[in-house]
Amino acid sequence: MQETELDTALETMRGGPKKTSMQLVIGNKNYSSWSMRPWLVMKAFTIPFEEIHILLDQSGTTTHIAEYSLAGRVPVLLSDPIVVWDSLAICEFLAEQFPAQNLWPEDVAARAFARSICAEMHSGFSDLRSSMPMNIKADFSGKGRTAGSQADIGRISEIWEDCLSRYGAHHYLFGDFSIADAYFAPVVMRFKTYDVSLAPALQAYVDRVQAHPAVAEWMRDALNEADDIPKYDFPAAK
C-alpha cells in the first residue's frame, strides 16, 4: 500500500473526514431558512463542499431543482452517487460521514435532547414560519405578531432556556456549536428581523449565534444578494 493510501485508510479508521467531493444545492440566502441549516453545519465544521445556488420563485426554479432532486425543494446534498434532499436528513448524513467532528453532542442524553428539539423545529412552528418568513435584509419590527407566532416564540424561548441551563457551558445550546444551533439559526434571523424581545440570557445567545463565523458569512452573503422576492419583502402589517 502506498503512503497516501495508508494515510487515507488510517484517517478513515480513526473516524476522520472522508475525502469526498460534495455539492450543496441551496436557494437564496436571504430567504431560504432550510438551505441555511446544512450550509452552516458544513461551514462550521469545515466540511468541504461546492455551493450550487438556485434562485427561488423564478420561472425556471422548479425545473432547475428537478435536475438534482425530484422532491422539488432545496437544500439537496450531492455526494456521488448519494443524493440527500432534506435538511435534517442531510445533517444526519453528515454526522455519520464525519463522526470525529461531533456534529451532535457527544453525551448520549444531550444528543437525544438535541435530536428531539431539531425534530420539533423541523415539523412544527408553522405559525412563526408563515407570519415571520426569514428575510435577513429587512427590518419588520413589530410585524408578524399573531397568537400562533407568539405561542411559537414562547415555546422556542422555553427550549433555549432549557438547553442553555442544562448543557450550555460554552454558550451554545449544547456547549459547543452543533447541528442544534445551526437548526435554530434561521429563528435567530427572524427574531432579529422582527425585533422580538427576549430575556437577557436568550438575547445573549442570539448575539453569540450571529457572531459565529459561519453565521456571519451567511448573513454577509444574504445582504449582498441582488435577487429579491417581493412577496417576502412586503409582509402585511399584523
Confidence of residue 20 (pLDDT cuts 50, 70, 90): low
Supply the angle between the helices 200-211 and 147-167 in degrees, to the nearest 10. 80
Position 99 pLDDT exceeds 90: yes
**Predicted pLDDT at 232:** 80
Q: Which of 136, 131, 134, 133 is nearest to 151 (CA)?
A: 131
**What pLDDT, in 10s, does the model give residues 47-86?**
999 999 999 988 899 999 999 998 999 999 999 999 999 9
Fold topology of 108-225: Glutathione S-transferase Yfyf (Class Pi); Chain A, domain 2 (1.20.1050)
Over range 131-146, report the average pLDDT. 95
**What pLDDT, in 10s, does the model give residues 85-96?**
999 999 999 999
What is the helix (H) or strand (E) element at residue 23, kind and residue range?
A: strand 23-26
The amino acid that residue 47 corresponds to is: I
Position 185 pLDDT exceeds 60: yes
- Was domain 3-101 assigned CATH 3.40.30.10? yes
**What pLDDT, in 10s, does the model give residues 120-131?**
999 999 999 999
Residue 154 CB neighbours (<10 A): 10
What is the residue extent of each domain of the chain? 3-101, 108-225
